[in-house]
Structure 1
Amino acid sequence: MNLAVARKPLRADAARNVDKIITAARECFRDFGPDVPLQTIAATAGVGPATLFRNFADKEELVLAALNRQLRLSVDPVIDDALADMDAAGGLLRVIEAIMAAASDNANLLGAVAGRRELLTGITGSLIDSIGVLLGRGQGQGTLRADISMTDMFRLLAMLIGVVDTMEPGSDAWRRPVALIEDAIRTERPHRPLPAQVPLPASQLQGPQVTGQPLRGSRLS
Protein backbone atom coordinates (compact mmCIF):
# COMPACT_ATOMS: atom_id res chain seq x y z
CA MET A 1 0.00 0.00 0.00
CA ASN A 2 1.28 3.44 -0.89
CA LEU A 3 1.29 5.41 2.34
CA ALA A 4 1.64 8.67 0.40
CA VAL A 5 -1.87 8.11 -0.92
CA ALA A 6 -3.72 5.89 1.55
CA ARG A 7 -3.53 7.55 4.95
CA LYS A 8 -5.64 7.18 8.07
CA PRO A 9 -7.89 10.16 8.89
CA LEU A 10 -5.92 12.74 10.89
CA ARG A 11 -6.86 15.06 13.71
CA ALA A 12 -7.30 18.67 12.63
CA ASP A 13 -3.94 19.77 14.07
CA ALA A 14 -2.13 16.79 12.55
CA ALA A 15 -3.78 17.45 9.18
CA ARG A 16 -2.59 21.07 9.32
CA ASN A 17 0.95 19.88 9.99
CA VAL A 18 0.82 17.50 7.03
CA ASP A 19 -0.45 20.33 4.84
CA LYS A 20 2.36 22.63 5.99
CA ILE A 21 4.98 19.93 5.42
CA ILE A 22 3.78 19.14 1.89
CA THR A 23 3.61 22.84 1.01
CA ALA A 24 7.12 23.36 2.39
CA ALA A 25 8.39 20.32 0.49
CA ARG A 26 7.26 21.77 -2.85
CA GLU A 27 8.87 25.11 -1.98
CA CYS A 28 12.14 23.56 -0.83
CA PHE A 29 12.48 21.15 -3.74
CA ARG A 30 11.78 24.02 -6.14
CA ASP A 31 14.33 26.33 -4.49
CA PHE A 32 17.08 23.90 -3.45
CA GLY A 33 16.73 20.92 -5.80
CA PRO A 34 16.02 17.20 -5.27
CA ASP A 35 18.73 16.71 -2.63
CA VAL A 36 17.30 19.15 -0.10
CA PRO A 37 17.54 17.69 3.43
CA LEU A 38 14.33 16.78 5.24
CA GLN A 39 15.47 18.94 8.15
CA THR A 40 15.34 21.98 5.86
CA ILE A 41 11.79 21.07 4.86
CA ALA A 42 10.75 20.67 8.50
CA ALA A 43 12.24 24.06 9.38
CA THR A 44 10.49 25.72 6.43
CA ALA A 45 7.20 24.14 7.51
CA GLY A 46 7.70 25.40 11.06
CA VAL A 47 7.59 21.91 12.57
CA GLY A 48 10.17 19.76 14.28
CA PRO A 49 11.89 16.85 12.52
CA ALA A 50 10.02 14.45 14.78
CA THR A 51 6.69 15.78 13.49
CA LEU A 52 7.84 15.34 9.89
CA PHE A 53 9.02 11.77 10.47
CA ARG A 54 5.86 10.92 12.38
CA ASN A 55 3.90 11.66 9.21
CA PHE A 56 6.39 10.67 6.52
CA ALA A 57 8.76 7.76 7.02
CA ASP A 58 11.27 8.99 4.44
CA LYS A 59 11.85 11.43 1.61
CA GLU A 60 10.22 9.19 -1.00
CA GLU A 61 6.96 9.08 0.94
CA LEU A 62 6.93 12.86 1.29
CA VAL A 63 7.74 13.36 -2.40
CA LEU A 64 4.91 11.05 -3.45
CA ALA A 65 2.48 12.87 -1.17
CA ALA A 66 3.48 16.20 -2.70
CA LEU A 67 3.22 14.87 -6.25
CA ASN A 68 -0.13 13.25 -5.46
CA ARG A 69 -1.50 16.57 -4.24
CA GLN A 70 -0.37 18.35 -7.40
CA LEU A 71 -1.95 15.73 -9.65
CA ARG A 72 -5.21 15.97 -7.76
CA LEU A 73 -5.20 19.78 -7.96
CA SER A 74 -4.00 20.34 -11.51
CA VAL A 75 -4.77 17.19 -13.49
CA ASP A 76 -7.96 15.76 -11.99
CA PRO A 77 -10.13 18.74 -13.07
CA VAL A 78 -8.79 18.39 -16.62
CA ILE A 79 -9.65 14.67 -16.57
CA ASP A 80 -13.20 15.45 -15.43
CA ASP A 81 -13.65 17.94 -18.27
CA ALA A 82 -12.11 15.55 -20.81
CA LEU A 83 -14.41 12.70 -19.80
CA ALA A 84 -17.40 15.02 -20.25
CA ASP A 85 -16.24 16.22 -23.67
CA MET A 86 -17.63 14.64 -26.83
CA ASP A 87 -14.19 14.95 -28.47
CA ALA A 88 -12.28 12.13 -26.78
CA ALA A 89 -9.04 12.66 -28.71
CA GLY A 90 -8.97 16.36 -27.83
CA GLY A 91 -9.70 15.51 -24.21
CA LEU A 92 -6.91 12.93 -24.12
CA LEU A 93 -4.40 15.46 -25.44
CA ARG A 94 -5.48 18.03 -22.84
CA VAL A 95 -4.91 15.45 -20.11
CA ILE A 96 -1.44 14.67 -21.45
CA GLU A 97 -0.66 18.40 -21.57
CA ALA A 98 -1.84 18.80 -17.96
CA ILE A 99 0.36 15.89 -16.86
CA MET A 100 3.38 17.40 -18.59
CA ALA A 101 2.75 20.87 -17.16
CA ALA A 102 2.56 19.34 -13.67
CA ALA A 103 5.72 17.31 -14.31
CA SER A 104 7.59 20.42 -15.47
CA ASP A 105 6.41 22.50 -12.51
CA ASN A 106 7.48 19.71 -10.14
CA ALA A 107 10.67 18.63 -11.91
CA ASN A 108 12.76 18.62 -8.74
CA LEU A 109 10.19 16.45 -6.97
CA LEU A 110 10.44 13.97 -9.83
CA GLY A 111 14.21 14.20 -9.59
CA ALA A 112 14.02 13.09 -5.98
CA VAL A 113 12.62 9.71 -7.09
CA ALA A 114 14.78 9.40 -10.20
CA GLY A 115 15.55 5.76 -10.89
CA ARG A 116 12.51 4.66 -8.87
CA ARG A 117 9.67 6.16 -10.87
CA GLU A 118 7.76 2.91 -10.64
CA LEU A 119 6.71 4.41 -7.30
CA LEU A 120 4.55 6.85 -9.26
CA THR A 121 2.20 4.00 -10.21
CA GLY A 122 0.53 4.27 -6.82
CA ILE A 123 -0.56 7.86 -7.41
CA THR A 124 -1.44 7.59 -11.10
CA GLY A 125 -3.74 4.56 -11.13
CA SER A 126 -7.00 6.48 -11.59
CA LEU A 127 -5.33 8.76 -14.11
CA ILE A 128 -4.24 5.80 -16.24
CA ASP A 129 -7.76 4.35 -16.04
CA SER A 130 -9.20 7.62 -17.35
CA ILE A 131 -6.68 7.70 -20.19
CA GLY A 132 -7.81 4.18 -21.10
CA VAL A 133 -11.43 5.36 -21.27
CA LEU A 134 -10.51 8.33 -23.48
CA LEU A 135 -8.35 6.15 -25.73
CA GLY A 136 -11.20 3.67 -26.24
CA ARG A 137 -13.68 6.45 -26.98
CA GLY A 138 -11.34 8.13 -29.42
CA GLN A 139 -10.76 4.87 -31.24
CA GLY A 140 -14.52 4.32 -31.40
CA GLN A 141 -14.92 7.83 -32.83
CA GLY A 142 -12.24 7.14 -35.42
CA THR A 143 -10.00 10.00 -34.28
CA LEU A 144 -7.32 7.87 -32.57
CA ARG A 145 -5.44 5.01 -34.21
CA ALA A 146 -7.19 1.70 -33.64
CA ASP A 147 -3.90 -0.18 -33.26
CA ILE A 148 -2.73 1.73 -30.17
CA SER A 149 -2.92 -0.21 -26.91
CA MET A 150 -2.79 0.98 -23.32
CA THR A 151 0.69 -0.52 -23.12
CA ASP A 152 1.66 1.86 -25.92
CA MET A 153 0.09 4.79 -24.07
CA PHE A 154 1.84 3.89 -20.83
CA ARG A 155 5.21 3.80 -22.60
CA LEU A 156 4.52 7.02 -24.49
CA LEU A 157 3.68 8.78 -21.21
CA ALA A 158 6.85 7.40 -19.62
CA MET A 159 8.85 8.73 -22.58
CA LEU A 160 7.24 12.14 -22.24
CA ILE A 161 7.91 12.29 -18.49
CA GLY A 162 11.55 11.61 -19.34
CA VAL A 163 11.58 14.82 -21.38
CA VAL A 164 11.48 16.73 -18.06
CA ASP A 165 15.05 15.57 -17.42
CA THR A 166 16.22 17.41 -20.56
CA MET A 167 14.77 20.86 -19.83
CA GLU A 168 14.77 23.58 -17.24
CA PRO A 169 12.18 23.14 -14.44
CA GLY A 170 9.03 25.05 -15.29
CA SER A 171 9.87 25.19 -19.00
CA ASP A 172 7.25 24.42 -21.64
CA ALA A 173 9.80 22.61 -23.82
CA TRP A 174 7.54 19.55 -23.46
CA ARG A 175 5.01 21.05 -25.89
CA ARG A 176 6.96 20.03 -28.99
CA PRO A 177 7.34 16.34 -27.98
CA VAL A 178 3.65 16.25 -27.02
CA ALA A 179 2.74 17.60 -30.46
CA LEU A 180 4.86 14.86 -32.06
CA ILE A 181 3.04 12.25 -29.96
CA GLU A 182 -0.29 13.75 -31.06
CA ASP A 183 0.79 13.39 -34.70
CA ALA A 184 1.58 9.73 -34.00
CA ILE A 185 -1.64 8.70 -32.25
CA ARG A 186 -4.28 10.58 -34.24
CA THR A 187 -5.74 9.00 -37.36
CA GLU A 188 -5.18 12.32 -39.17
CA ARG A 189 -2.23 14.61 -38.49
CA PRO A 190 -3.36 18.03 -37.24
CA HIS A 191 -2.80 20.91 -39.67
CA ARG A 192 -0.58 23.08 -37.48
CA PRO A 193 3.13 23.82 -37.17
CA LEU A 194 5.08 22.18 -34.38
CA PRO A 195 5.66 24.32 -31.28
CA ALA A 196 8.97 26.16 -31.26
CA GLN A 197 12.13 24.21 -30.54
CA VAL A 198 13.53 24.94 -27.06
CA PRO A 199 17.33 24.42 -26.78
CA LEU A 200 18.67 21.91 -24.29
CA PRO A 201 20.03 23.36 -21.05
CA ALA A 202 23.75 24.06 -21.16
CA SER A 203 24.33 21.31 -18.59
CA GLN A 204 22.88 18.78 -21.05
CA LEU A 205 25.23 19.71 -23.88
CA GLN A 206 28.32 17.53 -24.01
CA GLY A 207 30.31 16.65 -27.07
CA PRO A 208 28.92 17.86 -30.42
CA GLN A 209 26.46 20.70 -29.91
CA VAL A 210 22.81 19.69 -30.10
CA THR A 211 20.95 22.32 -32.11
CA GLY A 212 17.94 20.50 -33.48
CA GLN A 213 19.68 20.37 -36.91
CA PRO A 214 21.44 17.30 -38.38
CA LEU A 215 25.18 17.29 -37.71
CA ARG A 216 27.41 17.86 -40.71
CA GLY A 217 28.99 14.66 -41.89
CA SER A 218 26.28 12.52 -40.31
CA ARG A 219 24.03 10.26 -42.32
CA LEU A 220 21.19 12.66 -41.57
CA SER A 221 22.85 15.74 -43.10
Structure 2
Amino acid sequence: MSLAVARKPLRADAARNVDKIITAARQCFREFGPDVPLQTIAMTAGVGPATLFRNFADKEELVLAALNRQLRLTVDPVIEGALADIDAAAGLFRVMESLMDASSADANLLGAVAGRRELLTGITGSLMESISVLLVRGQGQGSLRPDISMTDMFRLLAMLIGVVDTMEPGSDAWRRPLALVEDAIRTTRPARPLPPHVPVPAATTPAAPPLAALEDPELG
Protein backbone atom coordinates (compact mmCIF):
# COMPACT_ATOMS: atom_id res chain seq x y z
CA MET A 1 0.00 0.00 0.00
CA SER A 2 1.93 3.00 -1.21
CA LEU A 3 1.35 6.63 -0.41
CA ALA A 4 -0.47 8.65 -3.02
CA VAL A 5 2.58 10.89 -3.36
CA ALA A 6 5.79 8.95 -3.86
CA ARG A 7 8.81 9.91 -1.79
CA LYS A 8 12.31 10.35 -3.12
CA PRO A 9 14.99 8.00 -1.73
CA LEU A 10 16.42 9.38 1.49
CA ARG A 11 19.94 9.47 2.87
CA ALA A 12 20.51 7.17 5.83
CA ASP A 13 20.40 9.97 8.39
CA ALA A 14 17.27 11.47 6.84
CA ALA A 15 15.61 8.04 6.76
CA ARG A 16 16.37 7.61 10.46
CA ASN A 17 14.76 10.97 11.20
CA VAL A 18 11.65 10.03 9.22
CA ASP A 19 11.41 6.75 11.13
CA LYS A 20 11.76 8.56 14.48
CA ILE A 21 9.12 11.12 13.50
CA ILE A 22 6.61 8.48 12.39
CA THR A 23 7.20 6.43 15.54
CA ALA A 24 6.75 9.56 17.68
CA ALA A 25 3.59 10.48 15.76
CA ARG A 26 1.95 7.16 16.59
CA GLN A 27 2.93 7.53 20.23
CA CYS A 28 1.68 11.11 20.48
CA PHE A 29 -1.59 10.47 18.71
CA ARG A 30 -2.26 7.57 21.07
CA GLU A 31 -1.43 9.65 24.15
CA PHE A 32 -2.85 13.06 23.24
CA GLY A 33 -5.48 12.41 20.56
CA PRO A 34 -5.91 13.55 16.93
CA ASP A 35 -5.30 17.24 17.69
CA VAL A 36 -1.77 16.83 19.06
CA PRO A 37 0.50 19.69 17.83
CA LEU A 38 3.30 18.88 15.42
CA GLN A 39 5.73 20.58 17.80
CA THR A 40 4.92 17.92 20.42
CA ILE A 41 5.62 15.19 17.89
CA ALA A 42 8.94 16.77 16.90
CA MET A 43 9.98 17.08 20.56
CA THR A 44 9.05 13.44 21.22
CA ALA A 45 11.04 12.35 18.16
CA GLY A 46 14.07 14.32 19.34
CA VAL A 47 14.21 16.48 16.22
CA GLY A 48 13.60 20.15 15.57
CA PRO A 49 10.39 21.44 13.94
CA ALA A 50 12.39 22.34 10.83
CA THR A 51 13.43 18.70 10.41
CA LEU A 52 9.83 17.56 10.73
CA PHE A 53 8.56 20.08 8.17
CA ARG A 54 11.42 19.27 5.81
CA ASN A 55 10.08 15.71 5.62
CA PHE A 56 6.33 16.29 6.07
CA ALA A 57 4.60 19.35 4.67
CA ASP A 58 1.73 19.19 7.17
CA LYS A 59 0.00 17.00 9.72
CA GLU A 60 -2.06 15.18 7.07
CA GLU A 61 1.06 14.03 5.23
CA LEU A 62 2.59 12.78 8.48
CA VAL A 63 -0.60 10.97 9.49
CA LEU A 64 -0.83 9.26 6.10
CA ALA A 65 2.81 8.16 6.34
CA ALA A 66 2.18 6.69 9.78
CA LEU A 67 -0.98 4.92 8.63
CA ASN A 68 0.74 3.66 5.52
CA ARG A 69 3.60 2.16 7.53
CA GLN A 70 1.28 0.43 9.95
CA LEU A 71 -0.87 -1.04 7.18
CA ARG A 72 2.24 -2.23 5.40
CA LEU A 73 3.63 -3.86 8.54
CA THR A 74 0.44 -5.38 9.95
CA VAL A 75 -2.11 -5.84 7.17
CA ASP A 76 -0.04 -6.49 4.02
CA PRO A 77 1.48 -9.78 5.33
CA VAL A 78 -2.03 -10.99 6.16
CA ILE A 79 -3.20 -10.07 2.65
CA GLU A 80 -0.34 -12.05 1.11
CA GLY A 81 -1.24 -15.11 3.17
CA ALA A 82 -4.94 -14.73 2.40
CA LEU A 83 -4.35 -14.56 -1.35
CA ALA A 84 -2.29 -17.76 -1.12
CA ASP A 85 -4.91 -19.58 0.98
CA ILE A 86 -7.08 -22.12 -0.81
CA ASP A 87 -10.03 -21.01 1.37
CA ALA A 88 -10.78 -17.51 0.09
CA ALA A 89 -13.50 -16.74 2.63
CA ALA A 90 -11.23 -17.61 5.56
CA GLY A 91 -8.54 -15.40 4.03
CA LEU A 92 -10.99 -12.53 3.55
CA PHE A 93 -12.02 -12.54 7.19
CA ARG A 94 -8.40 -12.69 8.34
CA VAL A 95 -7.75 -9.54 6.31
CA MET A 96 -10.79 -7.83 7.79
CA GLU A 97 -9.69 -8.87 11.29
CA SER A 98 -6.19 -7.46 10.76
CA LEU A 99 -7.65 -4.20 9.42
CA MET A 100 -9.91 -3.86 12.45
CA ASP A 101 -7.05 -4.62 14.81
CA ALA A 102 -4.92 -1.92 13.15
CA SER A 103 -7.83 0.53 13.21
CA SER A 104 -8.34 -0.01 16.92
CA ALA A 105 -4.63 0.38 17.67
CA ASP A 106 -4.40 3.66 15.71
CA ALA A 107 -7.90 5.08 16.18
CA ASN A 108 -6.60 8.61 16.73
CA LEU A 109 -4.58 8.51 13.50
CA LEU A 110 -7.72 7.57 11.60
CA GLY A 111 -9.62 10.30 13.39
CA ALA A 112 -7.07 12.87 12.23
CA VAL A 113 -7.95 12.23 8.55
CA ALA A 114 -11.63 11.31 8.90
CA GLY A 115 -13.71 12.79 6.10
CA ARG A 116 -10.73 13.45 3.81
CA ARG A 117 -11.68 11.00 1.10
CA GLU A 118 -9.04 11.91 -1.46
CA LEU A 119 -6.19 11.63 1.06
CA LEU A 120 -6.84 8.05 2.15
CA THR A 121 -7.44 6.61 -1.31
CA GLY A 122 -3.72 6.30 -2.07
CA ILE A 123 -2.96 4.01 0.86
CA THR A 124 -6.03 1.77 0.66
CA GLY A 125 -6.38 1.01 -3.04
CA SER A 126 -4.51 -2.30 -2.93
CA LEU A 127 -6.46 -3.34 0.17
CA MET A 128 -9.78 -2.99 -1.66
CA GLU A 129 -8.34 -4.72 -4.74
CA SER A 130 -7.30 -7.70 -2.60
CA ILE A 131 -10.68 -7.83 -0.91
CA SER A 132 -12.30 -7.84 -4.34
CA VAL A 133 -10.14 -10.80 -5.43
CA LEU A 134 -10.97 -12.75 -2.25
CA LEU A 135 -14.68 -11.94 -2.55
CA VAL A 136 -14.90 -13.23 -6.13
CA ARG A 137 -12.91 -16.36 -5.25
CA GLY A 138 -15.08 -17.05 -2.22
CA GLN A 139 -18.23 -16.66 -4.29
CA GLY A 140 -16.79 -19.04 -6.87
CA GLN A 141 -16.05 -21.54 -4.11
CA GLY A 142 -19.60 -21.23 -2.82
CA SER A 143 -18.58 -20.02 0.64
CA LEU A 144 -19.66 -16.38 0.21
CA ARG A 145 -23.08 -15.13 -0.88
CA PRO A 146 -23.18 -14.62 -4.65
CA ASP A 147 -25.25 -11.43 -4.35
CA ILE A 148 -22.62 -9.51 -2.33
CA SER A 149 -20.93 -6.73 -4.34
CA MET A 150 -17.81 -4.66 -3.70
CA THR A 151 -20.08 -1.71 -2.95
CA ASP A 152 -21.57 -3.84 -0.18
CA MET A 153 -18.08 -4.72 1.08
CA PHE A 154 -17.02 -1.07 1.01
CA ARG A 155 -20.00 -0.06 3.12
CA LEU A 156 -19.61 -2.98 5.51
CA LEU A 157 -15.97 -2.02 6.10
CA ALA A 158 -17.00 1.60 6.64
CA MET A 159 -19.52 0.50 9.24
CA LEU A 160 -17.04 -1.82 10.93
CA ILE A 161 -14.33 0.81 11.21
CA GLY A 162 -16.93 3.21 12.55
CA VAL A 163 -17.22 0.78 15.49
CA VAL A 164 -13.82 2.05 16.67
CA ASP A 165 -15.50 5.33 17.61
CA THR A 166 -17.83 3.47 20.01
CA MET A 167 -15.24 1.62 22.10
CA GLU A 168 -12.29 2.22 24.38
CA PRO A 169 -8.94 2.75 22.60
CA GLY A 170 -7.21 -0.56 21.92
CA SER A 171 -10.34 -2.58 22.73
CA ASP A 172 -11.26 -5.65 20.69
CA ALA A 173 -14.99 -4.87 20.95
CA TRP A 174 -14.98 -4.91 17.13
CA ARG A 175 -14.80 -8.72 17.13
CA ARG A 176 -18.53 -9.12 17.80
CA PRO A 177 -19.76 -6.87 14.93
CA LEU A 178 -17.17 -8.48 12.63
CA ALA A 179 -18.59 -11.90 13.51
CA LEU A 180 -22.07 -10.60 12.72
CA VAL A 181 -20.85 -9.44 9.31
CA GLU A 182 -19.29 -12.85 8.70
CA ASP A 183 -22.60 -14.50 9.58
CA ALA A 184 -24.35 -12.20 7.09
CA ILE A 185 -22.15 -12.74 4.04
CA ARG A 186 -21.21 -16.42 4.31
CA THR A 187 -23.52 -18.87 2.59
CA THR A 188 -23.51 -20.99 5.77
CA ARG A 189 -23.41 -19.40 9.23
CA PRO A 190 -20.35 -20.54 11.20
CA ALA A 191 -21.09 -22.91 14.09
CA ARG A 192 -19.58 -20.77 16.85
CA PRO A 193 -20.90 -18.41 19.52
CA LEU A 194 -20.59 -14.67 19.04
CA PRO A 195 -17.63 -12.99 20.77
CA PRO A 196 -18.49 -11.41 24.14
CA HIS A 197 -20.66 -8.30 24.22
CA VAL A 198 -18.75 -5.14 25.21
CA PRO A 199 -20.86 -2.15 26.37
CA VAL A 200 -20.46 1.21 24.65
CA PRO A 201 -18.50 3.63 26.88
CA ALA A 202 -20.80 6.19 28.48
CA ALA A 203 -18.70 9.12 27.26
CA THR A 204 -18.62 7.97 23.64
CA THR A 205 -19.83 10.49 21.07
CA PRO A 206 -20.66 9.00 17.64
CA ALA A 207 -18.47 10.29 14.81
CA ALA A 208 -18.29 9.81 11.05
CA PRO A 209 -16.59 6.47 10.15
CA PRO A 210 -13.05 7.12 8.88
CA LEU A 211 -13.56 4.73 5.95
CA ALA A 212 -16.25 7.08 4.63
CA ALA A 213 -13.21 8.96 3.38
CA LEU A 214 -12.27 6.20 0.97
CA GLU A 215 -13.05 5.93 -2.70
CA ASP A 216 -15.91 3.51 -3.34
CA PRO A 217 -14.48 1.11 -5.98
CA GLU A 218 -17.81 0.85 -7.81
CA LEU A 219 -19.47 4.18 -7.15
CA GLY A 220 -16.36 6.25 -8.05
Indicate whether the TM-score tops 0.5.
Answer: yes
Question: What displacement does 1:204 show?
Answer: 2.2
Where does residue 47 of structure 2 map in the other structure?
47
Contact 1:71–1:102 (Cα < 8 Å) also in 2: yes
Where does residue 219 of structure 1 map in the other structure?
none
Scaled by the length of structure 2, the TM-score of the pair is 0.89
Task: Pick closer, same or farther for the CA change 1:107–1:205 going to 2, 3 Å.
Answer: closer
Question: What displacement does 1:5 show?
Answer: 5.3
TM-align CA RMSD: 1.6
Within 5 Å, give how 1:121-200 maps onto structure 2.
121-200=121-200
Scaled by the length of structure 1, the TM-score of the pair is 0.89
Q: Which has the higher contact order (CA 8 A, sep 6+)?
A: 2
Q: Does 1:6 align with 2:6?
A: yes
Contact 1:20–1:45 (Cα < 8 Å) also in 2: yes
Where does residue 36 of structure 1 map in the other structure?
36
Rounded to whole Å, the distance in 1 between the matches of 2:161 and 2:119 is 14
Contact 2:139–2:145 (Cα < 8 Å) also in 1: yes
Q: Which runs of 4+ in 1 moved over 6 A?
A: none
Secondary structure of 1:202's match?
A: coil
Max Rg structure? 1
Cα deviation, 1:181-210, whole Å, max 9, x if unaligned, reads 10111011111111111111120279xxxx
Cα deviation, 1:89-131, whole Å, max 9, x if unaligned, reads 0000000000000000001111111232552221011111111
Rounded to whole Å, the distance in 2 between the matches of 1:162 and 1:58 is 25
Secondary structure of 1:204's match?
A: coil
Contact 2:165–2:204 (Cα < 8 Å) also in 1: no
Secondary structure of 1:89's match?
A: helix
Equivalent residue letter for 1:86: I
Where does residue 19 of structure 2 map in the other structure?
19
Task: Pick closer, same or farther for the CA change 1:63–1:12 going to 2, 3 Å.
Answer: same
Where does residue 76 of structure 2 map in the other structure?
76
How many pairs does the alignment contain? 205
Secondary structure of 1:30's match?
A: helix
Where does the alignment leave 5 or more consecutive residues of structure 1 unmatched? 207-221
Where does the alignment leave 5 or more consecutive residues of structure 2 unmatched? 207-220
Within 5 Å, give how 1:197-208 maps onto structure 2.
197-204=197-204
Contact 2:3–2:68 (Cα < 8 Å) also in 1: no
Equivalent residue letter for 2:26: R
Identity %: 83
